[in-house]
Amino acid sequence: MRTITMEEIARAAGVSRSHVSLAYRNAYGIKPEVREHILAVGRQLGYRHNRIAAQLAGGSTGTIGVYLQDLHNDLFADIFDGLRDVSEPAGRQLVLAIGHTDGSRDAAALETLLESRVEVIVAAGLMISDRDVFTVLGSTPLVSIARHIDTADSVVSDNAVGAHLAVNHLVELGHRRIAFLANPPTDGYGERRAGYLATMRQHELNPQIIEGSYSRRECASIIAAMLLSANTPTAIFAHNDQAALGAMDAIISAGLKPGVDISVVGYDNTGQSQSPSAALTTIDIHGVELGRMAGESVLIRLGNPEAPRTSHHVEPTLVVRATTGPPVRG
């Protein structure tokens, strides 16, 4: 299909090329009725305005790059919704890049955003090291969600508090053999493990760390193997809801019932955890609110690139559902 140019719109509308440019940029100096006439002619001709190219010509793209780790985990959809709630009314466009739970696509995803000439990047779930993040980004501003990164604006939930809430809930139900289904150790994602260990020590209980992953299927396999051992806990606290759902898959496949035979607590309060079929007890990190706060941080950073770096915290809350109950065995 042939590309319609601004020169053709100008001829058809009986105005100058500069008037057409002003109309599509909604710039000062053109009457509203003239602008509407130009836009109507453009629609009739099938013109598609290249907003990014126009903004680049003006020295600014007006765009925000968004990195999300995993679209299979709807925590990231919640974060995106919150970010969009703030950025779109401010006239900012979002350019999206998706990573992978093992971090293998992080650098490439960030490079894609940089090549799109975004003005700032919002990242939720980056797995690569702090050093590698800034090797890739250079001087492009970063707002990190759910992970504190030095020299970047960060919006995080207090994971030590969240782990404390989870373990305390299980202890209050009477559990003493509480295992933590852990995430792989990487920069920025150790606070839930540390919070679990600190709270177990506080209650003078022996910790049990089960090394897990970000994959529901892999976590199901790990817990299935554990159920065959002699060291089965009465409760499992998982590092996120995907891991918790994997644990539940293994428990159910073994003919047991979550919340009765083995209690399970997740982390994030995703849509899947809220479904009646799962009814997962979990820690709510308020993903939409994290996204909104990140959006506000972005607008502040764009308005004042030299402003001091900020770190904002959201307090997590415990959501009790059907997957936790008193232990049936010691």
Do 194 and 131 share a structural domain?
A: no
Per the structure, the count of domains in the chain is: 3
Q: Kindly state whether residue 327 falls inside one of the protein's structural domains.
A: no
- First and final CA of the chain: distance in angstroms? 72
Do 260 and 164 share a structural domain?
A: yes
Do 294 and 279 share a structural domain?
A: no
265-287 pLDDT tens trace: 999 999 999 999 999 999 999 99
207-248 pLDDT tens trace: 999 999 999 999 999 999 999 988 899 999 999 999 999 999
Q: Kindly state whether residue 302 falls inside one of the protein's structural domains.
A: yes
Do 252 and 168 share a structural domain?
A: yes
Is pLDDT larger for residue 3 or for residue 63?
63
Q: Which of 161, 152, 201, 162 is nearest to 178 (CA)?
A: 201
Contact predicate 192/239, CB 8 Å = yes
Do 36 and 123 share a structural domain?
A: no
Q: Kindly state whether residue 58 falls inside one of the protein's structural domains.
A: no
Work out the average pLDDT over 48-71: 69
| 283: β partners | 318
Do 130 and 247 share a structural domain?
A: no
Please name the helix (run of DSSP H) or strand (run of DSSP E) that holds residue 109, with its range, or none: helix 106-115
Q: Kindly state whether residue 261 falls inside one of the protein's structural domains.
A: yes
* Backbone phi and psi for residue 209, each to the nearest 5 degrees, phi listed first: -95, 125
What is the Cα–Cα distance from 74 to 199, expressed in whole angstroms?
Answer: 28
Length of the chain equals 330
Question: Is the pLDDT assigned to residue 3 strictly greater than 80?
Answer: no
Question: In sequence order, what are the residues at sequence separation of 6 or more whose Cβ sits closer than 8 angstroms to the Cβ of residue 3?
Answer: none
Would you state the structure tokens that stand for residue 44, as one six-digit string? Answer: 């009739």
Q: Kindly state whether residue 1 falls inside one of the protein's structural domains.
A: no
Q: Kindly state whether residue 322 falls inside one of the protein's structural domains.
A: no
Contact predicate 244/272, CB 8 Å = no
Do 128 and 183 share a structural domain?
A: no
Q: At 195, which CATH number? A: 3.40.50.2300
Q: Kindly state whether residue 324 falls inside one of the protein's structural domains.
A: no
Exposure of 74 in the CB half-sphere (CA atoms within 13 A): 8
126-143 pLDDT tens trace: 999 988 888 888 888 999
Do 76 and 38 share a structural domain?
A: no
Question: Is the pLDDT assigned to residue 250 strictly greater than 90?
Answer: yes
Please name the helix (run of DSSP H) or strand (run of DSSP E) that holds residue 166, with its range, or none: helix 159-172
Do 178 and 252 share a structural domain?
A: yes
Do 260 and 163 share a structural domain?
A: yes
Give residue 138's pLDDT: 83
Do 244 and 227 share a structural domain?
A: yes
Residue 256 DSSP SS3 = coil
Work out the average pLDDT over 321-325: 98
Give residue 58's pLDDT: 47
Q: Which of 203, 218, 258 is nearest to 235 (CA)?
A: 258
| Domain ranges, residue 41 | 6-49
Do 197 and 186 share a structural domain?
A: yes
330 pLDDT band (50/70/90 cuts)? low
Give residue 45's pLDDT: 86
For 98-102, 140-144, 326-330, which range has the lowest pLDDT when averaged over its residues? Answer: 326-330
Beta-strand ranges (E) seen in 24-141 are: 63-68, 93-98, 120-124
Q: At 32, which CATH number? A: 1.10.260.40
Q: Kindly state whether residue 187 falls inside one of the protein's structural domains.
A: yes
Work out the average pLDDT over 301-313: 90
23 pLDDT band (50/70/90 cuts)? confident
